[in-house]
């Protein structure tokens, strides 16, 4: 297998890990360290929607729902985007992005990706990640 950014997240420092269980993991990824941005990924390498097992996909719904609730609770976000293109990084994963109510309409939807160019702030991302981890723990996740 060639270099895989989502697989590489398995080795990140603990401060970047927001959630991790046997199947799914959510981290703050280098290069995508905009506060409120996370990568939710299958821990084993699988590509496309046909790659995960039925059991892994059955766990995706509850994990993504709990993560969304924790992000909204921790950040007061009014929307959570789950984006998966799978072209640059074919590993089964999602960029999870919190959207504030005051985000201009022109920056909503896929246009929010433009925020990556000027919104990166590792310290702020780690602080948000800690709040989301705490919200997940408070919900017994």
pLDDT tens sequence for the chain (141 residues): 457 889 999 999 999 999 999 999 999 999 999 999 999 999 999 999 999 999 999 999 999 999 999 999 999 999 999 999 877 778 999 999 999 888 878 888 888 888 898 999 999 999 999 999 999 999 864
CATH fold of the domain at 5-138? HIT family, subunit A (3.30.428)
Nearest alpha-carbon partner for 87 in 79, 78, 95: 95
pTM for the whole structure: 0.91
**Domain residue spans of the chain:** 5-138
């Amino acid at each position: 297998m060639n270099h895989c950014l989502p697989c590489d997240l398995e080795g990140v420092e603990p401060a970047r890990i927001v959630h991790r269980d046997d199947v799914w993991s959510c981290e703050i990824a280098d290069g995508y360290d905009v506060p409120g941005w996370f990568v939710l990924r299958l821990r084993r390498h699988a590509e496309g929607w046909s790659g995960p097992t039925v059991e892994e996909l059955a766990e995706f719904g509850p994990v993504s729902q709990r993560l969304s609730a924790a992000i909204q609770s921790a950040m007061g976000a009014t929307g959570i985007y789950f984006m998966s293109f799978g072209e640059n990084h074919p590993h089964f994963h999602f960029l999870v992005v919190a959207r504030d109510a005051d985000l201009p309409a022109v920056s909503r939807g896929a246009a929010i990706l433009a925020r990556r160019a000027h919104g990166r702030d590792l310290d702020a991302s780690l602080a948000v990640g800690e709040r989301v981890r705490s919200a997940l723990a408070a919900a017994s996740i």
